[in-house]
Structure 1
Amino acid sequence: MPTKSALKNPNLTPSKGEEDEKLTPKKSSREVVYSILGEDDGFHAHLVVPDVLERAPPEQLPVAYGDGNSIEMGNLLTPEDLRYKPVIDLEKTDPGRFYCLVMTDPDVPNRAMPTERELLHWLVVNITDRNIAKGEEIVPYKPPLPNMGSGLHRYVFVLLEQTRPITIATEAEKAALLEKSLKSKLQKTSESKDPKKSSTFLDLETKSKSTVRPSSSTKTSSGSNGTKVKDEKEKLLGSSTSEKIPLIECVKFSTKEFTKKYAISGVFAANFLQTEYNEYVGRQLEAEKKGLLEEEKKLEKVKQVMKIDEKKTIDSIKNLKIKK
């Protein structure tokens, strides 16, 4: 019941809002901070902004690794759950536009000292018709395998909206271009040893493979636009100046710089998960190490064979001169 003073002065009567405010317990400073971070969907809370993005995206990108393993703004998943490509829901995208999907790890080698930030794990460009399979996979999906003792790693998925189709060399095309460049250098070295040399084994091999074509497994955008992108890329790959076609480096990749460099109108949506080293990762890294050692041995054998072939070619030219 209101007091006599409240009856005399109606302004002193507490309103319903004031009464509710008195009944509601005040939040501590810690609770206030966490409520602010929670309202921001975790992009600032986990420093995805500014480590990967300039600002929080307008949409949360739906990403799922099989049944019951959806990504929920920094939730923790085990590396075993991340072995295969996730399903990306593109239902909210415009089917007539092009999009680009980026997956990176900004915590390389660890979050405290990310000297190798970012490591690119997956890159698909020219996605259209709400179907990621209709895009062009520049960097194939690499499952997260964080090193022992490196703590939690964030794996960020960013969907970028393109203003037009993008032309970038795939990893297979990049390897072919590097091989072509290596053979060209070997040819020049061989010619410098014998200026009168006209045509050698290396010359013939280089000429026969002067036009590098994309791998048959490489997917390209469908439709007339996709065909134009493919034709343009093949012309660049077959040209004498391989520098015309952009190459992507997975180590020290920058999502921000990529957005500035290419035809990107902005970030459409994003999401991220966290994972860390466990026994499964240890087994995978050990197997990967053995595989790399085997590849190094094979490469060394190839180099030895190439040196022998080059020596035989030079010797045969010398013999021809002696006969003349």
Structure 2
Amino acid sequence: MAKKYFASLFFLSLTSSSFVLTRPISCDFDRLFGVDASFCSGNLHVIYPNMGDASCVYIPNCYEYSQSLINVWGAPRIKFPDAKPENLYTLIMVDPDAPSRAKPIHRFWRHWLVSDILGKDLQKGGVTGTVQSKYYRPKPLSHTGLHRYQFLIYKQHPQVSPSLLPRERTLASWDVAAFVNRSRLGDPVATTQFMAMNPRS
């Protein structure tokens, strides 16, 4: 199931890459549209300081938002109001457009992985749990266009605590589907993404 899910995401990225890469960015937080908007589901919120909820928007390349995202801000608050208090969840953050959406030879770049998150904490915007891979700020290369930064929440299997294998310590070219299948996570219960580019682009 997970491989089918990520295969569909790969197809969507191929069918829309050239269109989205050339979309102009204003100083407003424009909502994503088309296939990029369809990725957002399940009432998931990604909250950065001084910017607010970055879910399903283009991060404007002005007012130092991009600079702060890349160089200053730490991990965002992740709020999932629909989480069940007694359940455990896994959070995945990836960039499928490394080094660019046109040539994603390092897909998926892992930016954050936390398992064993209590549902009651997610309801309030907290990410407590086991940090499998610490938060790595978005760092799109200059002149590579817009990158998608995707957040996925999974309900954990009650008998499995997800963990990385030694060979998965490298951030680049992470096989997300293999990790999801091995950890018996199934399909995500909530997903969202924002899009951002290097301010020098």
TM-score of the two chains, using structure 1 as the length reference? 0.44
Check conservation: 1:71, 1:271, Cα contact below 8 A.
no
Distance 2:68 2:32 in 1: 22
Give the counterpart letter for 1:268 in structure 2: V
Q: Map of 1:129-168 to 2, 5 A cutoff?
A: 129-131=119-121, 132-164=126-158, 165-168=160-163
**What is aligned with 1:265?**
186
Q: 1:44, CA displacement in angstroms?
A: 5.5
- The within-5 A match list for 1:68-79 is 68-77=51-60, 78-79=65-66
- Which residue identity does 2:59 align to in structure 1? L
1:104 maps onto 2:99 in alignment = no
SS in 2 for 1:99: strand
Q: CA deviation at 1:167?
A: 4.3
Q: Partners in 2 of 1:161 and 1:260 — Cα distance?
A: 13
Counterpart contact for 1:168–1:248, Cα < 8 Å? no
CA contact (8 A) 1:152 1:275 kept: yes
> For 1:137-177, what per-residue CA distance to the aligned partner results, in whole angstroms no more than 9, with x for missing partners?
111101111111111111001111111241425xxxxxxxx
Deviation of 1:247 (Å):
4.4
Q: Secondary structure at the match of 1:134?
A: coil
Which residue identity does 2:108 align to in structure 1? E
29, 35, 43: which one pairs with 1:60? 43
Matches of 2:53 and 2:179 in 1, distance apart?
A: 27
Between the aligned partners of 2:167 and 2:116, the Cα distance in structure 1 is 15
Distance verdict in 2 for CA 1:167–1:76, change over 3 Å: closer
1:167, 1:246 within 8 Å by CA — same for their partners in 2?
no
Q: Deviations over 1:205-243 (max 9, x none)?
A: xxxxxxxxxxxxxxxxxxxxxxxxxxxxxxxxxxxxxx7
Aligned to 2:116: 126
Q: AA paired with 2:58? A: N
Q: Which residue type is aligned with residue 255 of structure 1?
A: V
Q: Which residue of 73, 78, 90 maps to 2:80? A: 90
From the CA coordinates, give the structure whose radius of gyration is larger.
1
- Report deviation, 1:67: 3.7
Cα drift, residue 88 of structure 1: 0.8
Query: Once the two structures are aligned, what percentage of the paired residues are identical?
Result: 23
Checking the alignment, whether the CA contact within 8 Å between 1:100 and 1:125 is kept in structure 2 is yes
SS of the aligned residue for 2:85 comes to coil
Matches within 5 A, 1:1-324: 45-46=35-36, 56=39, 58-77=41-60, 78-82=65-69, 83-131=73-121, 132-164=126-158, 165-168=160-163, 247-279=168-200
CA displacement, residues 34-84 of structure 1 (integer Å, 9 cap, x when unaligned): xxxxxxx958522x87xxxxxx56513111102443113132243334221
Structure 1 CA distance for aligned equivalents of residues 161 and 83 of structure 2? 18
**SS of the residue aligned with 1:108?**
coil
Flag structure 1 segments of 5+ consecutive residues without an equivalent.
1-40, 50-55, 170-242, 282-324
Superposed structure 1 runs of 4+ greater than 6 Å apart: none
SS at match of 1:117: coil
Paired positions, count? 159
Deviation at 1:117, TM superposition (A): 0.7
Q: Please give the root-mean-square deviation of Cα atoms over the aligned residues, in Å.
A: 2.7
Q: Which runs of 5+ in 2 are unaligned?
A: 1-30
Q: Give, in whole Å, the separation in 2 of the partners of 1:68 and 1:275.
A: 13
Deviation for aligned residue 1:262? 1.1
Q: Distance in 2 between matches of 1:109 and 1:80?
A: 18
Rounded to whole Å, the distance in 2 between the matches of 1:91 and 1:114 is 33
Residue 275 (structure 1) shift = 1.0
SS at match of 2:151: strand
